[in-house]
């Protein structure tokens, strides 16, 4: 008696499984590559935001150097920076108009500083008219929603003006 042959379709099954494995591997590589590209783009945007934060902090210091009493002392709440290019000079100005830099928006918040009996910065105590707290924030739309970075620092009336 002759045995039935079951091997005829086996090589076709091997080809289908092999092609499926190759397709799955290529698809996985494509998904991983896309994820890497998105992460790289988000990291690049975060780095740009960090530079804008640093630039904003330096611009606020520049404005402070132009005169504490005239430029900083009366400010409170959320403000924006703008760089004004003139005929002979260019300068930073503080205003209420939102500052857009490409896809980024930069603003800063100014708050009063209180000091305790030891002259340390505290949440309660007497106001220090010669010190302000600044929070510079950069906001931008990202792949996974809105992203933001903030840097906080204190400035004093260093030049007593």
What are residue 48's DSSP bridge partners? Answer: none
pLDDT of residue 16: 92
- Write out pLDDT tens, residues 55-64: 999 999 999 9
Whether the per-residue pLDDT at 51 is higher than 70: the answer is yes
Average pLDDT value for residue range 66-82: 91
User: Which residue did the predictor score with more confidence, 143 or 19?
Assistant: 19
List the one residue out of 149, 129, 130 whose CA is nearest residue 140.
149
Whether the per-residue pLDDT at 73 is higher than 80: the answer is yes
Please report, rounded to a whole number, the percentage of residues in the chain having pLDDT higher than 70.
94
Q: How many residues does the chain have?
A: 161
pLDDT band at 143 (very low <50, low <70, confident <90, very high): confident
pLDDT of residue 8: 62
Helix, coil or strand: residue 123: coil
Rg of the chain over CA atoms, in angstroms? Answer: 30
Prediction pTM value = 0.80
Please report, rounded to a whole number, the percentage of residues in the chain having pLDDT higher than 90.
73
Average pLDDT value for residue range 3-32: 86
Whether the per-residue pLDDT at 18 is higher than 90: the answer is yes
* Lowest model confidence (mean pLDDT) among 8-17, 47-56, 131-140: 8-17
């Amino acid at each position: 008696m002759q045995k039935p042959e079951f091997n005829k379709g086996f090589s076709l099954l091997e080809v289908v499984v092999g092609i499926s494995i190759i397709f799955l591997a290529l698809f996985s590589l494509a998904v991983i590559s896309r994820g890497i590209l998105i992460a790289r783009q988000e990291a690049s945007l975060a780095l740009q935001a960090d530079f804008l934060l640093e630039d904003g902090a330096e611009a606020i210091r520049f404005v402070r150097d132009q005169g504490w009493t005239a430029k900083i002392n009366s400010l409170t709440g959320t403000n924006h920076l703008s760089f004004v290019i003139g005929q002979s000079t260019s300068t930073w100005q503080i205003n209420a108009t939102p500052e857009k830099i490409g896809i980024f928006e930069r603003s800063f918040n100014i708050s009063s500083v209180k000091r305790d009996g030891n002259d340390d910065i505290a949440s309660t105590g007497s106001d220090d008219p010669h010190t302000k707290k600044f929070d510079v924030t950069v906001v931008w739309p990202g792949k996974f929603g809105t992203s933001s970075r903030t840097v906080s620092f204190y400035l004093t009336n260093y030049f007593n003006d």
